[in-house]
Amino acid sequence: MKRVCKNNVIYNTSAHNQPAIMVEEHEEFRLELEDCYGGRLKSSQDVFTKEMWNTVNPATGPVFIAGACPGAVLCVEIMAINIVDHAVMHIARGPGILGEYVEGAETSILKIRNEQLEFGGGLILPVRPMIGVIGTARAEDPVSTSFPGEHGGNLDCKEITAGSRVYLPVNVSGALLSLGDIHALMGDGEVCGCGAEMSGEVVLRTHLEHSFMPTPAVETMDKIHFLGSAKTLDECEAIVLRKAHAYLVQRLKMSANDAVRFMSLAGDLGVCQVVDPLKTMRFSLPHRICESS
Ligand code: CA
Ligand code: CA
């Protein structure tokens, strides 16, 4: 199986990045991912400096998918997320709401044993590994891997986990897929600015989706989640509702009014993250009801 190690990273997604590997549709491959701090916070003594901001969220890749042409939709299946034995959290005083409560910057190393995160003080939290950064290259200007957007990127959606399928746009030849920023655990909102940040390895497989599918979207066992990122949550809401409505009307052939009623009864509006340069929301529809309707 082809494998890309974690020193093949990018900090900007760009049509001009050199591919790290080329894979065929349906071919399984592995990517080793560094944590969002670039592995530089190894102990509680390590401090996150201002200079490090330019090189956060390294994303491994890019991966060139043979046959992926602009205009297509790429489906990325997350076959596995292999985690390591610890995670890192760095908090600091900042402009965010929770930042007001931080009593001095602090780096914490959290042990992971038997799929449980040892929080300290006897608190144990079950891990739920997820991928924070997953995206394709944009056709336009390069964009930092810290940004979420229509190309994917720093979406920080906790539904992007082992077993999920992530739908992304193909904007440039080969799609140029890259991933990073794994979390052992994160709550909706990522309200202190980080999750349980972790390095690890993912096993992926891709194919091109031929039916209508708004992007970015995530399909899990029981739901399909439409994602949108913007400066405000109000703008995010408009984006994700528009995508879900288009899916029901164009793919499932519901009438416009039925789709509106169905979304109000069966759909859930949720927040992915409120701490990145743009915020991200999701609108989630029950997958099986959609497919059988
Ligand atoms: Ca992130
Ligand atoms: Ca992160």
Interval between CA 156 and ligand 1 midpoint (Å): 5
CATH class of domain segment(s) 219-292: alpha beta
Q: What is the pLDDT of residues 186-198, one digit of tens each?
A: 999 999 999 999 9
Interval between CA 246 and ligand 2 midpoint (Å): 30
Q: What is the pLDDT of residues 271-282, one digit of tens each?
A: 999 999 999 999
Interval between CA 186 and ligand 2 midpoint (Å): 9
98 vs 119, more confident: 119
Interval between CA 3 and ligand 1 midpoint (Å): 23
Interval between CA 28 and ligand 1 midpoint (Å): 25
Average pLDDT of the chain, as a whole number: 96
Give the pLDDT confidence score for residue 51 in this predicted structure. Answer: 87
Q: How far apart, in Å, are the Cα atoms of 220 and each of 50, 70, 235?
A: 37, 25, 25
Give the pLDDT confidence score for residue 290 in this predicted structure. Answer: 59
Confidence of residue 56 (pLDDT cuts 50, 70, 90): very high
Interval between CA 155 and ligand 1 midpoint (Å): 7
Could you tell me the pTM of the whole model?
0.96
Confidence of residue 291 (pLDDT cuts 50, 70, 90): low
Interval between CA 6 and ligand 1 midpoint (Å): 17
Percent of the chain with pLDDT over 70: 98
Q: What is the pLDDT of residues 134-179, one digit of tens each?
A: 999 999 999 999 999 999 999 999 999 999 999 999 999 999 999 9
Paired with 120 in beta bridges are 123
Cα 180–183–187 angle (5° rounding)? Answer: 130
- CATH annotation of 2-213: 2.60.120.580
| Other beta carbons within 10 Å of 17 | 18
Give the pLDDT confidence score for residue 14 in this predicted structure. Answer: 96
Q: Where are the domains of the chain?
A: 2-213, 219-292
Q: Which ligand is nearest to the CA of 148?
A: 1
Give me the mean pLDDT over the 247-251 stretch.
Answer: 97
Q: What is the pLDDT of residues 205-246, one digit of tens each?
A: 999 999 999 999 999 999 999 999 999 999 999 999 999 999
Interval between CA 178 and ligand 1 midpoint (Å): 14
Confidence of residue 96 (pLDDT cuts 50, 70, 90): confident
Give the pLDDT confidence score for residue 289 in this predicted structure. Answer: 66
Q: Is the pLDDT assigned to residue 293 strictly greater than 70? A: no
Residues 6+ apart with CB under 8 A from 167: 73, 74, 75, 76, 209, 213, 214, 215, 216, 217, 218, 219
Give the pLDDT confidence score for residue 287 in this predicted structure. Answer: 83
Q: Is the pLDDT assigned to residue 292 strictly greater than 70? A: no
Give me the mean pLDDT over the 68-72 stretch.
Answer: 98
| Cα–Cα distance measured from residue 9 to residue 147, given in angstroms and rounded to the nearest whole number | 16
Residue with tokens 């006897």, as numbered in its chain: 122
Q: Which ligand is nearest to the CA of 144?
A: 1
